[in-house]
Homo-oligomer: A and B are copies of this chain.
Amino acid sequence: MKIAILIYNGMTMLDAIGPYEVLAQLPKAEVFFVAKKKGEIKSDTGYVHLNAKYDFNDMVEADILLIPGSTIAFVKVMNDKKTLDWIRKIDKTTQFTTSVCSGSLILAATGLLKGLKTTSHWKPISLLKEYGAIPIRERFVHEGKIVTAAGVSAGIDMALYLVNEIAGEQLAKSIQLLIEYDPSPLYKSGNFTACEPDIIQKAERQLSRNAKRELNLFEAITNLKTLKKLK
């Protein structure tokens, strides 16, 4: 079972590494971290450096495709024809095409989410409408062969769900034990709908600072129109 995970400069690492850790345990799993160009890929914070061993030419099919999100770099990827074409090509071969966090915006930009219920990180979720998707605030949403997850950590729940769908309950439970996924968050603030308004404001300020840092770290984001809508 071939699992292709798109990686790109400015990506949020946990969006990819959470699901990877689960999906790599599928029977006969082979995981490929694939970038537009081989070489080093820097995270949104600039602190993590992944090496892409595979590029779009190497990877022509996959059973599972996973598109991770980012603080702001997804806007650039949404406007990158080569990446969108590659996603459309791989999607034709997949059993599941999936995303985590703002990765669903990238998927939406390919046109693959038209008319589909879709989730995303709580911040950019409303943008999905502009691409014909129907935004739904859920941990993850399964429509046909498309599965989209909410922000960052939601990829772990989605990946365990995929294992359950593909290989059944016994393996999903076993992998859950392997990664000792018995979460005990201190607070309930991980849920946007249940979160106190002052905490949401604080998180939005932090996101703004992170976006600024990312704009300084990477090349200017090209599509300023989309960026403005995010603010």
Q: Which residues of A contact B (CB under 8 A)?
A: 12-14, 17-18, 20-21, 24-25, 30-33, 40, 45, 47-51, 53, 101, 121-122, 139, 150-154, 156-157, 160-161, 164, 169-192, 194-196, 198-200, 202-203, 206-207, 210
Contact = CB atoms under 8 A, between A and B. Distances in A.
25 contacts: A12-B21, A14-B20, A17-B18, A20-B48, A49-B53, A50-B51, A139-B182, A151-B178, A152-B178, A153-B179, A153-B181, A154-B180, A154-B182, A157-B185, A157-B186, A164-B186, A172-B186, A174-B199, A175-B203, A176-B185, A176-B187, A177-B190, A177-B199, A180-B191, A182-B194
Contacts of A161: 186
A206 B189 contact: no
Given A25-B206, A49-B51, A161-B186, A173 B195 contact: yes
Contacts of A121: 180
Contacts of A194: 182
Contact of A190 (B13, B49, B182): B182
A23 to B, nearest CB: 10
A173 B196 contact: yes
A201 to B, nearest CB: 9
A81 B49 CA distance: 27
Contacts of A184: 139, 157
Contact of A203 (B152, B174, B187, B207): B174
Given A173-B199, A174-B203, A190 B181 contact: yes
Contacts of A206: 25, 174-175, 178
A152 B191 CA distance: 22
Contacts of A48: 17, 20, 31, 33, 50
A153 B152 contact: no
